[in-house]
Amino acid sequence: MLTPLAQTRFSAMSATDTPLPPDVDPRSLSEADWKARLSPETFKVTRKHGTERAFTSPLNDEKRAGTFACVCCGQPLFRSETKFDSGTGWPSFFAPIGDGAVTDHEDRSFFMRRTENRCSRCDSHLGHVFPDGPQPTGLRYCMNGVALHFEPDDA
Ligand SMILES: [Zn+2]
């Protein structure tokens, strides 16, 4: 029998979530469409602003060169060159790809003032950005691994 932690890790690693084909407009999907498409954990995080449990994403340890895309719509969001080990248990980056792929939104939930990040193409909730990251930006994009789809360069 699996322990709860093992179950979490197993479900994260065997995630069947794959981004929409590029010719499908993600904004045409209803909440019910997303719910039918995504695993329960991914739906909760990306469409309901949830947070995955720390140290559950296999992407924490992902060290290969490649692109981290939006798990919902496939838009490229982060590159491996900007990933760093923050020790927080969530995949962390010091900068997103290019301009405008990741949008900032003020988040006042839980009596805190934080900056939430979303995918600019489909509005998927990704995580939060904090001003305590490494140079050259000094930013720490703290992302939910289930919100990301990793595509290695040599695949
Ligand atoms: Zn997206």
- Quote helix, strand, coil % in the chain, to nearest 5: 25, 25, 45
Residues with catalytic roles: 142
User: pLDDT for 57-86, tens place per residue?
Assistant: 999 999 999 999 999 999 999 999 999 999
- For 62, how many CA atoms within 13 A lie in the half-sphere containing its CB? 27
CATH number of 108's domain: 2.170.150.20
Q: Is residue 21 part of a domain?
A: no
Q: Is residue 135 part of a domain?
A: yes
In the prediction, which pLDDT does 111 show? 85
How many C-beta atoms surround the C-beta of residue 89 within 10 A?
15
Q: How far apart are CA 148 and CA 91, in angstroms?
A: 9
Compute the distance from residue 20 Cα to the ligand 1 centre, in Å: 9
Compute the distance from residue 74 Cα to the ligand 1 centre, in Å: 6
Q: Which residues surround ligand 1, an ion (CB under 5 A)?
A: 70, 72-73, 75, 119, 121-122, 124
Q: Is residue 126 part of a domain?
A: yes
Compute the distance from residue 4 Cα to the ligand 1 centre, in Å: 29
Q: Is residue 136 part of a domain?
A: yes
Q: Is residue 1 part of a domain?
A: no
Owner of token pair 């322990």: 3
Rounded average pLDDT over 86-96? 98
- Give the angle subtended at the CA of 59 by the CAs of 89 and 101, to the nearest 5°: 100
In the prediction, which pLDDT does 152 show? 97
User: pLDDT for 120-155, tens place per residue?
Assistant: 999 999 999 999 999 999 999 999 999 999 999 987
Compute the distance from residue 135 Cα to the ligand 1 centre, in Å: 27
In the prediction, which pLDDT does 105 show? 97
In the prediction, which pLDDT does 16 show? 67
Owner of token pair 């930013």: 139
Compute the distance from residue 2 Cα to the ligand 1 centre, in Å: 32
User: pLDDT for 28-57, tens place per residue?
Assistant: 999 999 999 999 999 999 999 999 999 999
> Number of folded domains in the chain?
1
SS3 per-residue string spanning 64-78: CCEEEEECCCCCEEE
Q: Over 90: is that where the pLDDT of 15 sits?
A: no
Q: Is residue 110 part of a domain?
A: yes
Q: Which residue has the higher pLDDT, 134 or 15?
A: 134
Single pTM value for the model: 0.88
Q: Which residue has the higher pLDDT, 90 or 99?
A: 90
Q: Over 80: is that where the pLDDT of 18 sits?
A: yes
Give exposure, 100-120, as e/b (b: 16+ Cβ within 10 Å): ebbeeeeeeeeeeebebbbbb
In the prediction, which pLDDT does 98 show? 85
Q: Which domain holds residue 46?
A: 31-152
Q: Over 70: is that where the pLDDT of 11 sits?
A: no
Secondary structure (3-state) at 102 = strand
Compute the distance from residue 155 Cα to the ligand 1 centre, in Å: 21
